Chains A and B, each alone.
Chain A
Amino acid sequence: MKRFALSVGILLLLITRFSEANYDDFSWHGFVAQGLTSSTDSNYITTGNEITTELTEIGINGSYVINSSLSVSGQLVYLDGGNRFRQGARLDYLFLDWRLTRLFDWQVNVHLGRYKNRHWWYSATQDVPQTRPSISLPQSIYYDGNRDLALSSDGIALQSAKTSSSGTWEVRWSYGRSPLAREDTEKLLSPQAQGRVKQDFTHQFSTYWQPQSMHWQLGFSLLQSEFTYDPAAVDILLNGKSGIDRLTLAARYDSENWELTMELLRDRLMYEGDFTQGIRLDVDKTGEGGYLQWRYFLQNNLTGLVRFDTYDVDRKDRHGKQLAFNPFGAIPEHYGYMDTLTVGLSWDIQANLRLSGEFSRTHGAGRLTAVVFPDALVYAKPYWNAWSVQLMYWF
């Protein structure tokens, strides 16, 4: 909390100090988005099929160029996404950007501090409503339960972009860790767990290539992360460790009037832990999934979207049959997978004002929560729906 307050203080100081001075090297931007949303037959967004205004995103960011080698950038966000996220303010990023080269053709930057994850298509700006293709991102890759973990980390990141007549190569590497709130432990593990889950590290690498024709962009990313459970004095879990290895493949094709985007992933999840009842947990399973998304620019200010998103929690149990034998109690089969079809429409009313709406039909609930402890499951029937309408303004 002290670190958060300090970071907020630094960011506000930057904004007030330099905006008052109208300093040419200081810039700031922001966004405000408010909507209506609901999930029916599922507690993914709302509980009990209710319609809610808990679809609020407010953010402000600032960037100050110290000299030709150094800048500092940060962003504060307030988020209310119903049951999807922890409600409240957070410091999304605050980092020192060190430019190692001054070449036109080759940019190398080092980010120190709370850097942003730039390893997936939408991860660099998944917190900014008008930059997303839809109000909710595909859960196979951009799992809402991991939002804060996936968005940014405290540590070091390096990125290189080299352009030539053969195309543009981007290479990114990062190493850091994310602080986790108490609610994250409940979501990741169980509401009964009294201790705290801590991320030991997250280590990521990605590379993307875009040919000179600029139609295609192809890439892949790797992630490795480990977590440790720090038990409370009286607790159901005596100790615990978990690890994630993840591979994603990405491709995008841009045409005059449409774009086709795809990301595929395979993630290996490992858990180990001892419980007070003498139960030892030892899980090692590999999930697979991905999405295919097609956006059509119907007119200059109207965009349609169709997306198919799929995820199987365990590639050796794609129908969730083995979940009935879970040592902590049987879990319904439909928590072993999740397939979602989404259709959406966005209307750019003005250059910085957009109205978006979307509807999704989902079969399964395997990406609503970590599927290990029955008491941590988010309620959902085998088939359920969700819809959202959001008005967003940015400056």
Chain B
Amino acid sequence: MKVWILKAFCFGALLVWIGAFWTATARAETPAQPIAVVVNQSVDITTLTPAQLRMIFAGRTQFWPDGSRIRVFVLPPKSDTHQYFCRQLLNIYPYQLERIWQRVVYSGQGEAPKAVDTAQAMQNIIEQTPGAIGYLQAPGQMNKNIRMITVGEPL
């Protein structure tokens, strides 16, 4: 009874796969680039593990250990810097992160990060917002109220 449906499923999957190759427009490999996680000076943290960073950017951890709110900022999800940040620092695909945000926001569990348009806007908002965390590509000269934090497993 169900054999025809299984066959049809496989055929449908094959069609989608062929369609994928047909329409594949060089899904650009994101070039490796140095990314720094940055926080507002008010944040009393110097190191985060990758798992902790993921909890924060997924919207699951909303408060710093001192009880103040975490304000999370990201660059546009389609930007190379965001794509690289997700893959290399959070160890997840950008679509997985967006799926988590949707789940958090639409089930009353928290707030998704706010997107800012440019690296300069990211610097400015991190500088002005107590409790803020974000990321920047190869920051050279940084605003005075911002500092970098280390991401890695504790020694």
Specify whether A and B are partners. yes
**What chain B residues lie within 8 Å of A302 (beta carbons)?**
23
Interface residues in A123-141 (C-beta closer than 8 Å to B): 124-125, 128, 130-131
Q: How far is the CA of A97 from the CA of B23 in the complex (A)?
A: 45
By a CB distance below 8 angstroms, the chain A residues around B6 are 308
A22 CB within 8 Å of chain B: no
Q: Tell me if B111 is interfacial: C-beta within 8 Å of chain A.
A: yes
Interface pair A343/B56, CB less than 8 Å apart? no
- Note all chain B residues with C-beta closer than 8 A to A61: 106, 108
CB of B108 within 8 A of CB of A339, answer no
Query: A102 touching B109 by the CB < 8 A rule?
Result: no
- Which segment, of B31-39, B57-65, B134-142, faces chain A? B57-65
* Sample of 10 A–B contacts (CB below 8 Å): A63-B110, A104-B61, A105-B52, A107-B60, A124-B107, A125-B107, A165-B51, A304-B16, A340-B5, A361-B8
Given A168-B51, A302-B23, A73:B5 Cβ within 8 A: no
In the complex, how many angstroms separate the beta carbon of A92 from the nearest chain B beta carbon? 9
Given contacts A125-B106, A306-B13, A341-B8, contact A102 B63 (CB under 8 A): yes
Do B51 and A254 have beta carbons less than 8 Å apart? no
A-facing residues in B88-109 (Cβ within 8 Å): 91-93, 95-96, 99, 102-103, 105-109
**Contact residues in A for B8 (Cβ distance below 8 Å):** 341, 361
With A125-B102, A341-B8 in contact, is A298–B111 under 8 Å at CB? no
State which of B2, B48, B54, B107 has its C-beta within 8 Å of the C-beta of A310. B2
- Please give the number of chain B residues whose Cβ is less than 8 angstroms from any Cβ of chain A in the complex: 49
A131 and B2 in contact, given A68-B67, A124-B107 (Cβ under 8 angstroms): no
Q: Which of B1, B27, B91 sits near A257, CB closer than 8 Å?
A: B27
Q: Which 10 pairs, one residue from A and one from B, show the smallest C-beta to C-beta distance?
A: A73-B108, A306-B12, A104-B52, A163-B51, A308-B9, A304-B16, A124-B107, A128-B106, A68-B67, A131-B102
Query: Interface of chain A, helix or strand or loop or mixed?
Result: strand
B78 within 8 A of A: yes
| A95 contacts the other chain (CB 8 A) | yes
B39 CB, min distance to chain A CBs, angstroms? 14
**Cα A308 to Cα B1 with chains together (Å):** 13
B9 and A292 contact, CB distance less than 8 A:
yes
Q: In the assembled complex, which residues on chain B have CB atoms less than 8 Å from the CB atom of A306?
A: 9, 12-13, 16
Closest-CB distance, B63 to chain A (whole angstroms): 5
Mask: chain A, 307-331; 1 = CB below 8 Å from B; 0 = not: 1101000000001000000000000
A298 engages B55 (CB within 8 Å) = no
Q: Which residues of A165-181 are within 8 A (CB) of B?
A: 165, 168
> Is A300 touching B78 in the complex (CB atoms < 8 A)?
yes
11 extra interface residue pairs, beta carbon distance < 8 Å, beyond A97-B109, A161-B60? A61-B106, A93-B108, A95-B108, A164-B51, A214-B91, A294-B16, A296-B16, A304-B16, A305-B16, A339-B1, A363-B5
Answer whether residue A256 sits at the interface, using C-beta atoms and an 8 A cutoff: yes
Nearest chain B CB to A317 CB, angstrom units? 13
Taken together as a complex, chains A and B put the C-alpha atoms of A363 and B103 apart, in Å, by: 32
- Chain A 250-261 per-residue mask, 1 if CB under 8 angstroms from chain B, else 0: 000010110000
